[in-house]
Amino acid sequence: MTDIVTVTFAADTQNVALARTVAAAMAARADLPLDQLEDVRLAVDEAATEVISSAAEGATVTCAFDHDDSVLYVTVSAPTSATEPPSPTSFGWTVLSALVDSATAEIIDGTLSIRLQVSSDLVDV
């Protein structure tokens, strides 16, 4: 079953807590174990902070959460004035990519999108 939740908020770091809370709820709905739930919260925090830091004046951030079986997909995006996505060699990106299975960033038509994928590390016995 696919379960999609989208949250939008003003590009202000005070709103990152909202993204973290929804991330934790969606990780739980995707049946991720508790340690991965915390990793997802931290990864979404980092992604939202990164998007907000380069967001255009007055921009709105969109966080889209989708899960299928035991895989959680997250996209955090906002209009940006940046011309390049975050550097994969930056400290923030290193932390972000260590917390999830897959992290990508791109700017298309003036919108920065960071996509995350997390699969449950529980193995059926």
Asked whether residue 123 carries a pLDDT value surpassing 60, the answer given is no
7, 12, 5: which is closest to 27 by C-alpha?
Answer: 5
Distance of CA 66 to the CA centre of its chain: 11
**Model pTM above 0.95:** no
- H or E element that contains 25: helix 16-29
- Tell me what pLDDT residue 122 has: 57
- Ordered by start, the domain boundaries in the chain are 2-119
| Unique residue bearing structure tokens 């907000």 | 52
Q: Measured in Å, how far apart are the chain's first and last C-alpha atoms?
A: 22
- Quick one: pLDDT band at residue 125, thresholds 50, 70, 90? very low
**What would the mean pLDDT of 44-73 be, rounded to a whole number?**
94
Asked whether residue 3 carries a pLDDT value surpassing 80, the answer given is no
Asked whether residue 1 carries a pLDDT value surpassing 80, the answer given is no
φ, ψ dihedrals at 84, nearest 5°: -130, 145
Q: Does the domain made of 2-119 have the CATH classification 3.90.940.20?
A: no
Asked whether residue 32 carries a pLDDT value surpassing 60, the answer given is yes
d(CA 103, CA 74): 9
